[in-house]
A and B are shown apart, each in its own frame.
Chain A
Amino acid sequence: MPNKPLLLRVLDILSIILIPAALVLILFFTPEEATMGAVQKVFYFHVASAWAGMLSFVVAAGAGIGYLTTRDFKWDWLSLSAVEVGVVFGLVAIASGMIWAKPIWNVWWVWDPRLTTTAIMELLYLTYFILRSGLNTMETRARLAAVYAIISVITVPLTFLSIRLFRTIHPVVIAPTGSADFNMSPRMLVAFFASLVVFTILLADLIWNRYRLAALQAKINQGGN
């Protein structure tokens, strides 16, 4: 196995440095939100991990298309890695949301459409692994997993569209000026976008590392060196 590519090492180091840096930014740089208080600071990582989760599912579907057109297993490894990492980010988003909900809504969970659909989408991507585990040959596994990842990415926006038609109690952050549920101060915005960037870097780093693991596994299974 070749050594880690330089860019991946850079990403590793960047992730290790930037995550605590973002945390410092959030804890000490941003002001406390007027009504919610300190717990509002969960919001930065909450949105960032939700974003990273979504992005990785798009990557998985893109890799699925890549596999179906080239039939090169590398795309399958990428797709699998992206779903695996995406599921973890999704769990982080849900858990951090619950931590926020407890003091604000006074319960860990409410059956709000937004929350419910997010949870079901998490299950949707867990099913991806169930599907893979039941398929016998590598080729069938890669082909059908790719199809499933593509169909999933078609469904997710439809689900989001459907909950837009509901009245939700989940705060709406990204909206035309004036209609958002709370307005961020400039410092909040800095921390917000910084979190998004940091989580995107972390996502790329994790997917890439997981991809290398998949490549190594394939090599072992082939009995090569």
Chain B
Amino acid sequence: MIEITDLNKKFNTQSVLKDLSLTIAGGEFCILVGANGAGKTTLLRILAALVRPDSGEVLLEKEPLFADPSLRRKIGYLGHQSLFYGDLSAWENLRHYARLYNLSNSEEIIRKCITQSGLTPHQHKPLRTYSRGMQQRLALERALMHSPSLLLLDEPHSGLDQDAANGLDERLRQLHLKGCTLLVAAHRPQRLLQSATHAAWLREGQITDKVTLDQLSDIPGLDSYIREVK
């Protein structure tokens, strides 16, 4: 699905990603773990083609990601921000994204997204009246509305209450079962251990280890890191 080779990205001559290589096969559900500032967000933004790396290659299904804009259709991205317009309602925001992705039967898809996020009673209110958690739920549906085959999620649980977070875990599990490839950056990855298949450890700008979750105990540092980070 994705092959990353020798990826480099510097900000102010400080390397954030340094010769990073990582391969994620189709259908994997991979947790990206790492301390704050390890470069998780930068990596995900590069994979979403929002940030251009200084050097290195990113292949999405064997094609160079930055060469062809239409490849971005295969990617769903959820970042720290909702990417919504505060003056528009949930419905209008989603319709805007449906147009950007050029979706046919968009009405139906939008209705499904709004139902799924549980915001039907609020769908025509301007987005700035929504709470952080409501926006986050809607933002996840936005990332999924064009049925991407690769899903990049950056701290998807942030701002969600316990129920919504559990709902999100279930949603991700289902997506994984449907064959979607997931790469999820999580500062506290414990809750994903039940549904994920792999874990990748990002340290000092490199993926130092990538293992299936069964083999987690083979890498003592990673194992204790994942279980102890609170």
Contacts and interface: CB of A to CB of B under 8 A. Distances in A.
Q: Do chains A and B touch in the complex (CB under 8 A)?
A: yes
A137 B54 contact: no
B54 A138 contact: no
A141 to B, nearest CB: 9
A221 B13 CA distance: 9
Contacts of A137: 11-12
Contacts of A139: 10-12
Contacts of B13: 138, 221-222
Interface bin, chain B: under 10
A71 B54 contact: yes
A71 B56 CA distance: 14
A142 to B, nearest CB: 11
A85 to B, nearest CB: 25
A71 B10 CA distance: 12
A137 B12 CA distance: 5
Interface string B1-26: 00000000011110000000000000
A71 B13 CA distance: 12
Nearest to B9: A139
Interface in A15-65: none
Nearest to A223: B13
A221 B54 CA distance: 20
A138 B11 CA distance: 7
Interface in B89-137: none
Interface string A67-92: 00001000000000000000000000
B44 to A, nearest CB: 19
Interface string A125-156: 00000000000011100000000000000000
Nearest to A143: B52
Nearest to B54: A71
Contacts of B12: 137-139
Nearest to B55: A71
B143 to A, nearest CB: 26
Contacts of B10: 139
Interface string A203-221: 0000000000000000001
A146 to B, nearest CB: 15
Nearest to A140: B11
B91 to A, nearest CB: 36
A139 B11 CA distance: 7
A139 B53 CA distance: 11
A111 to B, nearest CB: 44
B16 to A, nearest CB: 11
Nearest to A141: B12
A12 B81 CA distance: 54
Contacts of B11: 137, 139
A221 B12 CA distance: 10
Nearest to A218: B13
Contacts of A71: 54
A189 to B, nearest CB: 50
A222 B12 CA distance: 9
A18 B13 CA distance: 41
A71 B12 CA distance: 13
Contacts of A138: 12-13
A70 to B, nearest CB: 11
A101 B13 CA distance: 49
Interface in A163-217: none
A103 to B, nearest CB: 52
9 contacts: A137-B11, A137-B12, A138-B12, A138-B13, A139-B10, A139-B11, A139-B12, A221-B13, A222-B13
Given A71-B54, A139-B12, 8 more contacts: A137-B11, A137-B12, A138-B12, A138-B13, A139-B10, A139-B11, A221-B13, A222-B13
Closest 7 CB pairs of A and B: A137-B11, A137-B12, A138-B12, A222-B13, A138-B13, A139-B11, A71-B54
